Structure 1
Amino acid sequence: MTLDAPTRGTPPGATGLASRRPRRRYSLLNGRDRVVLVAMVAIPTLIQLVLVWIPTVISVLLSFVRWNGLAFSDIRPAGVANYDFIFRSYPPFWPALAHNLLWLTFLALIATPIGLLLAILLDQNIRGSRIYQSIFFTPVMLSLVLIGVIWQLFYSQNNGLLNFLLGTSGTPQAVDWFGDPHVNIWAALIAATWRHAGYVMILYLAGLKGVDPSLREAAALDGANAVQSFFRVVLPVMRPINIVIVVITIIESLRAFDIVYIINRGTNGLELISALVIQNLVGEGQVIGVGSALAVVLLVISLVPIVLYLSRTFKKEA
């Protein structure tokens, strides 16, 4: 039977005494750290509460009243009359809903794959990739209002670059890209794609840089080509990025407002629900109840696909 040698510099029998001494617990947070932590949590929460949740609750309440927005004494309960008016007697609503769904489809099937393709190309470590990233990401740093102004110059009927390239500038054959109700929605979608594709590119590029190279090597050893390796190995690994992009695409398509409003205030073929909300809440002839009801409808439409997608995704992961 062997006995463990006592620790150097420790008297015999001291080890057992030390093990029986109560250990002193040290707090990771002192008083100042607690204040900083509370401030970091409380301030964003307060901002979120004031700028998002309180206005949301107020909008829901106002959707059940009649009010012209002038005096609080003029508020009258309306029940679901505002919603009934929207669904049955408000002509712009259904075209606006169709345009929002078209916006979602276009961003999901055209703009997002373009951003993914750009990310794949720039992930190949080609020469000047940083410059290309900056070029494609520049529209993301611009406001949608400014993007609308830029594309107005591009689409202008008389002096626009597009009609100049087509050789129709200044002629009766010049296309009125923003004035023709059969064309302007597609012109606005291309302008929105210019920005959305750059945003998607950066997100996917960050996801591709985080993929373990050994996964691709293992897929290549199993005989998978580049396309099979990407769709069967790389893309599933980037599931968190996919979730973020799906949510962003839905939100961007449903809250689209700036471009169409800068073009023609969301009329003449560019009706969107967000534009209808502003038309009823701002300016002469305010109909606060109808505008609030439209905002609630837009909120519900936005939340339903996001909640369904996230619940299915997290259920698969569980």
Structure 2
Amino acid sequence: MERWLPHLVLWPPLLISVLHVITFTTYTTWISFTPSTLIPEHDWIGLQNYWSVLNSRNWKIAYSNLVIYGACFVTLTTAMGLLLAILIDQRIRAENLFRAIFLYPMAVSFVVTGTVWAWLLNPGIGIQSLVRGMGFASFRFDWLVDQSMAIYTVVIAGAWQASGFAMALFLAGIRSVDADLYKAAQIDGAGAWRIYRRVVLPCIGPIFIAVLVILLQFTIKTFDLVRALTGGGPGIATQLPTLVVYDLMFQRGLLGRGAAAAVLLLLSLLLVLIPYFAYACWRKRREARHG
């Protein structure tokens, strides 16, 4: 009985979760090929919903925003996470305290993060108002209401929340590097910057890939942060594909078209996950061949 207990604990919930995902993904895909509105229908209309979504102005703007947000968010979060990890790796005092502080934002929901940053970036009550109250009357920081800059407020809020998570992964990778490599580099006269650049960073290449994949997943699935921070505005300047799915399904009642948008979003996610899993399998086979 003791031998089978772990399997009985792990496998039933896992199989139920997999079945749940497969069932509803299949049903959503089927609905995307039907003219369903408020009530599901079962007439086949082919790719009509997909063409409607792809040709809509909202979807084009949302996907453009996704590219901008993804590139900036992943770059900024990775850079901040790596910098924090390197600084903490210097064996500073109160290391555990700083790690907890930097990781804390990840424990906060995206709704709370969006709400707080909406207050901070609001020109009337936030940073702009505070600085102007200190006597700098010409100071301006109204990105939240600027259509060309609003998407970057989402980047700032997202990076603030996720950089601690990236830091934790990078720090774990840095601490796993063989100490003999550090000693050999120090004997050769390499400074701290050169050791990190030539020794540490190449050794944690897989960590970089894992961080990038996870952050890209965060990017594609971002909904509540934008909903709480900007609501997709001003106008549709910060609209993302997830908000388009929500708008089609729950606000306009276009179930079939919303399902098509959801499937397109799933395909975007698979474009990130499939290459990662292929790389992981290739790396495992390579390590097995080289012993």
- Under TM normalisation by the shorter chain, which class is it? 0.7 to 0.9
1:237 aligns with 2:206: no
Supply the distance in 2 between the matched residues of 1:33 and 1:287 (Cα, whole angstroms). Answer: 51
CA shift, 1:236, in A, is 2.7
CA shift, 1:92, in A, is 0.9
Contact 1:154 1:160 in 2 (8 A): yes
Contact 1:112 1:196 in 2 (8 A): no
Mapping for residues 228-267 of structure 1, pairs under 5 Å: 228-267=194-233
CA RMSD of aligned residues (A): 2.3
Supply the distance in 2 between the matched residues of 1:207 and 1:138 (Cα, whole angstroms). Answer: 20
Structure in which a larger fraction of residues adopt helix: 2
Supply the distance in 2 between the matched residues of 1:237 and 1:60 (Cα, whole angstroms). Answer: 41
Identity rate, percent: 27
CA shift, 1:189, in A, is 0.9
Alignment correspondent of 2:260: 293
1:106 aligns with 2:72: yes
Alignment correspondent of 2:147: 181
Contact 1:63 1:291 in 2 (8 A): yes
CA shift, 1:163, in A, is 3.1
Supply the distance in 2 between the matched residues of 1:173 and 1:123 (Cα, whole angstroms). Answer: 37
Contact 2:31 2:42 in 1 (8 A): no
Alignment correspondent of 1:60: 29
Alignment correspondent of 1:24: none
Alignment correspondent of 1:132: 98
Alignment correspondent of 1:226: 192
Q: Deviations over 1:4-45 (max 9, x none)?
A: xxxxxxxxxxxxxxxxxxxxxxxxxxx343144133122122
2:248 to 272, 280, 285: 280
The answer to which of 239-248 and 188-197 deviates more is 239-248
Supply the distance in 2 between the matched residues of 1:172 and 1:79 (Cα, whole angstroms). Answer: 56
Contact 2:132 2:138 in 1 (8 A): no
Q: 1:176 to 1:242 in 2, by over 3 A?
A: closer
Alignment correspondent of 1:26: none
Q: 1:177 to 1:237 in 2, by over 3 A?
A: same
**Partner secondary structure for residue 144 of structure 2:** coil
Supply the distance in 1 between the matched residues of 2:140 and 2:201 (Cα, whole angstroms). Answer: 44
Q: Deviations over 1:259-278 (max 9, x none)?
A: 21113432421110011011
Q: Which amino acid is 1:297 matched to?
A: L
Alignment correspondent of 2:19: 49
Q: Deviations over 1:131-171 (max 9, x none)?
A: 221111111000000001111111122111343124499x8
The answer to which of 115-124 and 211-220 deviates more is 211-220
2:54 to 83, 87, 104: 87
1:38 to 2, 8, 16: 8
Supply the distance in 1 between the matched residues of 2:239 and 2:25 (Cα, whole angstroms). Answer: 23
The answer to which of 293-302 and 269-278 deviates more is 293-302
Supply the distance in 1 between the matched residues of 2:154 and 2:47 (Cα, whole angstroms). Answer: 34
Contact 2:82 2:167 in 1 (8 A): yes
Supply the distance in 2 between the matched residues of 1:173 and 1:58 (Cα, whole angstroms). Answer: 53
| Higher relative contact order, chain-length normalized (CA < 8 Å, sep 6+) | 2
1:149 to 98, 104, 115: 115
Q: 1:66 to 1:172 in 2, by over 3 A?
A: farther
**Structure whose CA Rg is larger:** 1
Supply the distance in 2 between the matched residues of 1:190 and 1:315 (Cα, whole angstroms). Answer: 35
Q: 1:77 to 1:264 in 2, by over 3 A?
A: farther
CA shift, 1:76, in A, is 2.7
Aligned residues: 282
Q: Which runs of 5+ in 2 are unaligned?
A: 287-291
Q: Deviations over 1:65-93 (max 9, x none)?
A: 111133x4x443220001111222x1111
